[in-house]
Amino acid sequence: MIPFKVAGRLLEIQRVLMRHGLDEFIVTTHLYRPLRFLSLLQPSTWFTRRLGGSRAERLRLALEELGPIFIKFGQTLSTRRDLLPDDIADELVKLQDRVPPFGEAEARRTIEEALGASVESLFESFETTPLAAASIAQVHGAVLKDGREVVVKVLRPGMRDIIRRDLEVLYALARLVHRYLPDAERLRPVEVVGEYDKTIMDELDLLREAANAAQLRRNFTDSPLLYVPEVFFDLTRRNVMVMERIRGVQISDMTRLKAQNVDIQKLAEHGVQIFFTQMLHHNFFHADMHPGNIFVLTEDPANPRYAAIDFGIIGSLEPRDLEYLAGNFMAFFDRDYRRIAELHIESGWVPAGTRVNEFESAIRTVCEPIFQKPINEISFGVVLLRLFETARRFKMTVQPQLVLLQKTLLNIEGLGRDLYPQLDLWKTAQPLLRDWFRERTRPRTLWRESKRHLPEVIESLRALPPLVRRMVREAESRTPLLGSPSTDLGPLLATLEAQARRRDRTLIALGAILAGLLWWIGTIGMDVPVAGFGLLAVATGTLYLILRR
């Protein structure tokens, strides 16, 4: 049963779509169909005059009226020109930074209440007309008392209540899907909405965004690829943020970029490099990379540099997920379809009983025709959609933690294709992936990881002796106190003895690994042969454990 509040919001959505002449969306939306007869009873259906304008303009106006969650949906769609008609893509671009602003008086009141002082005492000058207005906030230009140019980001009033209301609608629809759709266990709709809930509510905290910006700025210190503006934390609160002003060309302004002789191909390739650097080396990526949030610094047109803003949505992955994902990318570039199938099974993304050869064949069927096309006709978005369709046959479970990364990758590809249609995503990304895998196997990296985990290893080894003693006592207490074992107990005792021998060998192997690590630490800086004894002990113990497994 749909809750009354949710049903009311669904009717409101339906009414807005009809008022803007978008009835076709209602007719084809199955979840609204049970409520459609109610809309026919509303006076607005019969007497409200539909607005003029093209279908694309009416769609944009409807999304603006429905609120921030729908605006963000439109922003995401606007980056995928390969999946949309041109007229709709052109109109949805306006949702990136041209949403109707809220009033100057409200903006000033929010700033003064948050910072506890008047705008005049905080800034040398303050621009009353917003530089840009988006779904969550708007920004005003200002100058600090020391003369530095800044932008002041102000959260829209009442955003939390508005977003929470629409999240309740999404949760209700997700529960309906989970209850009635046969494929719901695989799609995990409630978990996906939960991940989106966490993401968008984090975006409403500008202190969190400021911290994200500071971390990203550290990650790209002195980078020729990306510049992140400075945040002024003493002038930042949960609903107000002050940041260094960027003087660059918006990345969607191709006319100005070409007029300044910017190397467009290099700019597109840099965008891909920035994404994979953030994902692989930092595991901390800007996840809202639509054109409204990206500028280009053109002081050196032959080597253009990105400048990013709006850090409310930042993504990161668990190391295990990152490793499997990178392995999938690399196997895809190498056309190693069997490895893709194995990684999906090892990661638990598809059921453990899946036959590798059948899954491999299905993946090959999707991917192989793609590699026969010219590079400018290959869309990673289409590849993903087809792979998801294939994975459905094998009951692949949706991974909510990867949804944000997939969205970001689609945005990056859409942005790159807008800049340079011949962008070779594979050629640009492949060296970065190979470098990452090589870096992971270098002695320096292995040493760093070993040193980081050494306290955990030592603590585990300390816990082993009492655990072994307890196991021995339990085994002895279960051994019958008879003069001689019966024939029936012979196999059981033999099994217990074999287990004891294996346990002893495992303890010896673990001891060798620990001793080898300690030897290696103690011989750093000495001759290589001396340190080699420690490495040999570690390798021998590890090899035994691997073979035993």
Nearest Cα neighbor of 268 from 380, 376, 418 is 418
Q: Could you identify the residue written with the tokens 């949309």? A: 84
Q: Is 423 helix (H, G, I), strand (E, B) or coil?
A: coil
Dihedral of CA atoms 212, 216, 217, 219 in degrees, nearest 10, equals: 140
Nearest Cα neighbor of 364 from 326, 336, 384, 330 is 336
CA 465/CA 486 separation, integer angstroms: 32
Interior CA angle at 189 toward 183 and 194, to 5°?
160
Q: Give me Rg for the CA atoms of the chain.
A: 29
Q: Which two tokens stand for residue 55?
A: 């279908």
CB within 8 A of 236, min separation 6: which ones? Answer: 206, 207, 210, 242
Active site (annotated) includes residue 288: yes
Q: Which two tokens stand for residue 412?
A: 């990056």
From residue 31, how far is each of 165, 180, 181 by CA, in Å?
Answer: 18, 11, 12
Q: Which of 288, 321, 418, 424 is catalytic?
A: 288
Specify which residues 179 forms β-bridges with.
none
Percent of the chain that is helix, strand, coil (3-state, to 5) = 65, 10, 25
CA 289/CA 96 separation, integer angstroms: 10
CA 446/CA 454 separation, integer angstroms: 12
Determine the longest span between alpha carbons in the chain, in angstroms. 100
Q: Which two tokens stand for residue 328?
A: 């999938």
Dihedral of CA atoms 369, 373, 379, 383 in degrees, nearest 10, equals: 10
| Active-site annotation, residues | 288
